């Protein structure tokens, strides 16, 4: 984003506030104002700027499915098992849907999106460096997991790892668009973020990063074998670094978090935590009781106590939907993600492929719908797709004009 001296348009302000939103994303749970969260305030300002900048919006197929899902979530108040949790979750879903709808349809340029991602990268790098250089043991990190703890406020390590992953793929995207020209800087940034993800102790974060990196590699630029080999060596180099970090950790710090027999949480009971497999098994019993409509939006916390000894999160976005909104709700949100996948498949932005894959994989271990990292990912993907469409239109127009000019020259 380039600003001329003395000239700041509404679009420039929008880009600046979106960059600030990304910068503070890793610290959402730490910075709370008397009027609410800082990100909530920034979100209101951003939506106001969107309405000032653009008054006409289009409801395409993706948003049609999203609005249907949101409407169905609203109607589920009629049979929800907990009005309090319904209100809490529905307000989050409604706010993030409106935020995504307004921001994703703005006419931004590629350099605007890169500037926004630079803000998020800066925030995630600071967060990762805090984790690496100033380890803080939160009350639930007896295994040596690291998070950010300030004034008795802490970030959930799993959510933090997902946000760091967005920063990781934003770095790769900037490199593809020549916004990060030096490979040494790129490798440094990726290393800091990857080590930060490992140090959070998030098994879902580590798995999603590895799976998505190899998935992105499969689709990488062009068909030139040497290019794929080069990027493959980068990823393998990062993998070797992470393995080295793993072996250098103290035996009682993170070691058993990534032990193969405990990688998927089989040993969680020993530490008084919830075993995800047991929760999913109990949640499936709930699904069988109300397979079509579920227990209503936000109903999982109350419903799980019917078959489990205490309240717990679902630790899986898709299982959460099955229990809360049944097959109807899962089908609607599934159509939303299918639409987003179609946008990515048409795109040449390979970092977007990796990012979306990472968030979908980590959603197997987190109730992703309620967290901003999902909606920021969707925003990045949709803005990138819209910008690429505009760039292709300009390229096609240029080619057509060139062909016309060549035709006229041949006539003479």
The pLDDT value recorded for residue 132 is 84
| Structure tokens given for 213 | 């990196």
In this structure, is the dihedral angle defined by the CA atoms of residues 293, 296, 297 and 298, taken in order, positive or negative? negative
Nearest to 245 by CA among 359, 127, 146: 146
Percent of the chain with pLDDT over 90: 41
| Residues near 179 by beta carbon (within 8 Å), at least 6 away in sequence | 114, 118
Q: What is the pTM of this model?
A: 0.88
Mean pLDDT score, 136-158: 70
Which of 2-6, 39-43, 313-317 shows the lowest mean pLDDT across its residues? 2-6
pLDDT of residue 6 exceeding 50, the answer is no
Nearest to 46 by CA among 110, 101, 109, 114: 101
- 122 in Cβ contact with 70 (< 8 Å): no
- Residue 410 pLDDT class (50, 70, 90 cuts): low
- Across 27-31, 200-204, 329-333, the highest mean pLDDT is recorded for 329-333
Mean pLDDT score, 257-269: 60
- Residue 246 pLDDT class (50, 70, 90 cuts): low
Percent of the chain with pLDDT over 70: 76
The pLDDT value recorded for residue 26 is 93
Residues making up the chain, counted from first to last = 412
Q: How far is CA 44 from CA 7, 40, 51, 171, in A?
A: 23, 6, 11, 27
Q: pLDDT tens digits, residue range 223-233? A: 556 566 666 66
Which of 120-134, 265-279, 289-303 shows the lowest mean pLDDT across its residues? 265-279
CA distance 127 to 192: 10
Q: pLDDT tens digits, residue range 148-189? A: 877 677 788 899 999 999 999 999 999 888 877 777 888 889
CA distance 91 to 106: 23
| Structure tokens given for 350 | 């390979």
Residue-averaged pLDDT of the chain: 83
Q: pLDDT tens digits, residue range 73-93? A: 999 999 987 889 999 999 999
Q: Who has greater pLDDT, 242 or 389? A: 389
pLDDT of residue 1 exceeding 70, the answer is no
Angle between helices 317-346 and 350-362 (to 10 degrees): 170
Pairing of strands 153-154, 149-150: antiparallel
Half-sphere exposure of 55 (CA within 13 A, CB side): 1
- Residue 142 pLDDT class (50, 70, 90 cuts): low
In a 10 Å sphere around its CB, with 0-12 CB exposed, 13-18 middle and 19+ buried, how is residue 396 labelled?
exposed
Strands (E) in 121-276, as ranges, are 149-150, 153-154
Task: Decide: helix, strand or coil at residue 150.
Answer: strand
Please, what's the b/e burial string for 16-52 (b: 16 or more CB within 10 A of its CB; e: otherwise)? bbbbbbbbbbbbbbbeeeeeebbbeebbeebbebbee
Total Cβ atoms within 10 A of residue 210: 17
Q: Which helix (H) or strand (E) holds 350?
A: helix 350-362
pLDDT of residue 273 exceeding 90, the answer is no
Residue spans of alpha helices (H) in 25-109: 38-53, 61-75, 83-104
Which of 22-26, 156-160, 324-328 shows the lowest mean pLDDT across its residues? 156-160
pLDDT of residue 117 exceeding 90, the answer is yes
Q: Who has greater pLDDT, 182 or 96? A: 96
The pLDDT value recorded for residue 139 is 47
- 115 in Cβ contact with 70 (< 8 Å): no
CA distance 314 to 363: 11
Q: How far apart are the first and last CA of the chain?
A: 43
- Residue 143 pLDDT class (50, 70, 90 cuts): low
């Amino acid at each position: 984003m380039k600003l001329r001296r003395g000239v700041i348009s509404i679009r420039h302000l929008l880009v600046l506030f979106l960059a600030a939103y990304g910068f503070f994303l890793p610290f959402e749970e730490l910075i709370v104002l008397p009027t609410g969260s800082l990100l909530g305030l920034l979100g209101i300002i951003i939506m106001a700027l969107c309405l000032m900048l653009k008054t006409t919006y289009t409801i395409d197929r993706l948003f049609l499915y999203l609005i249907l899902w949101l409407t169905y979530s609203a109607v589920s108040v009629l049979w929800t098992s907990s009005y309090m949790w319904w209100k809490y979750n529905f307000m989050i879903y409604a706010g993030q849907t409106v935020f995504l709808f307004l921001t994703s349809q703005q006419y931004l340029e590629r350099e605007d999106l890169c500037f926004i991602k630079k803000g998020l990268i800066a925030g995630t790098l600071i967060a990762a460096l805090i984790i690496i250089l100033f380890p803080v043991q939160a009350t639930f990190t007896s295994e040596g997991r690291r998070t950010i703890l300030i004034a008795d406020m802490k970030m959930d390590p799993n959510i933090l790892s997902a946000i760091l992953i967005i920063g990781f793929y934003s770095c790769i995207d900037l490199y593809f668009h020549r916004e990060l020209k030096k490979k040494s800087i790129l490798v440094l940034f990726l290393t800091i973020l990857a080590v930060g993800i490992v140090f959070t102790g998030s098994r879902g974060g580590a798995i999603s990063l590895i799976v998505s990196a190899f998935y992105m590699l499969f689709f990488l630029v062009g068909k030139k074998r040497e290019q794929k080999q080069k990027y493959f060596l980068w990823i393998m180099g990062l993998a070797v670094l992470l393995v080295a970090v793993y072996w250098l950790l103290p035996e009682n710090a993170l070691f058993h978090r990534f032990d193969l027999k405990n990688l998927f949480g089989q040993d969680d009971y020993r530490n008084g935590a919830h075993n995800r497999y047991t929760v999913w098994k109990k949640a499936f019993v709930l699904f069988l009781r109300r397979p079509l409509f579920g227990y209503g939006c936000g109903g999982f916390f109350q419903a799980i106590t019917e078959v489990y000894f205490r309240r717990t999160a679902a630790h899986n976005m898709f299982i959460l939907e099955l229990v809360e909104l049944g097959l109807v709700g899962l089908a609607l949100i599934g159509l939303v993600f299918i639409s987003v996948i179609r946008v990515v498949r048409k795109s040449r932005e390979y970092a977007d492929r990796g990012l979306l894959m990472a968030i979908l994989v980590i959603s197997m271990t987190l109730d992703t719908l309620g967290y901003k990292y999902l909606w920021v990912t969707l925003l990045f993907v949709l803005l990138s797709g819209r910008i690429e469409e505009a760039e292709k239109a300009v390229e096609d127009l240029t080619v057509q004009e060139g062909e016309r000019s060549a035709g006229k020259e041949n006539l003479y």
